[in-house]
Amino acid sequence: MSMDNEMNEIRVSGLTKRYDGHAVLECLDAVFPAGSRTALMGPSGCGKTTLLRLLMGLEKADEGRVSGIPEKMTAVFQEDRLCEGFSAVRNLQAVLPGRAVYEELAGALAAVGLTENLDKPVRTFSGGMKRRVAIVRACLGDGSVLFLDEPFKGLDETTREQTAVYIKEYLRGRTLIMTTHDREEASLMDAQIMELGQQ
């Protein structure tokens, strides 16, 4: 992990993003302190995912600016974005070149309740199993900020709690910015809630 970027706060100033003339985000100001945990909440269409994409540089703002984003970041998108023909372990190895010990990766998957079929293609996995592979992959990645878009989607209560424990353990001082519709999920992650309203 790059320690140079680790202490930077992320600052959003006057951020505006429009689609077809409709402002999804308008003049948004926010600060995400280094090492903080923030849960973006609000009704559907209020700009939670859009804000994540702007922070990650995947979208360009119409107005305003974002500063303090490190060079290295990891993410879980609403889609799992796994290599479907790869096994769970191979999906993890893909982000850990040169330092991926099978037993350690199997242990990481076991920490979120995945102990079987680790060598089978993830296309054979259920949605909840794929979700957990995507989360472990992001947590093990070399980035000083972790973006999670609806990370617990498709997980039952027990698995969600188990996975939240794993994420918190592997944050290790990194900044977390996540989206959720559920205050309980924010509480599970010990995250401060940031409400985004309809513009």
CATH number, position 126: 3.40.50.300
Does residue 24 fall inside a structural domain?
no
Does residue 63 fall inside a structural domain?
no
Q: How many domains does the chain have?
A: 1
Mind listing the pLDDT tens digit of every residue in the chain (199 residues)?
333 444 589 999 999 999 988 899 999 999 999 999 999 999 888 899 999 999 999 999 999 999 999 889 999 999 999 999 999 999 999 888 776 788 999 999 999 999 999 999 999 999 999 999 999 999 998 889 999 999 999 999 999 999 999 999 999 899 999 999 999 999 999 999 999 974 4
What HEC string does 137-199 produce? HHHHCCCCEEEEECCCCCCCHHHHHHHHHHHHHHHCCCEEEEECCCHHHHHHCCCEEEECCCC
Does residue 121 fall inside a structural domain?
yes
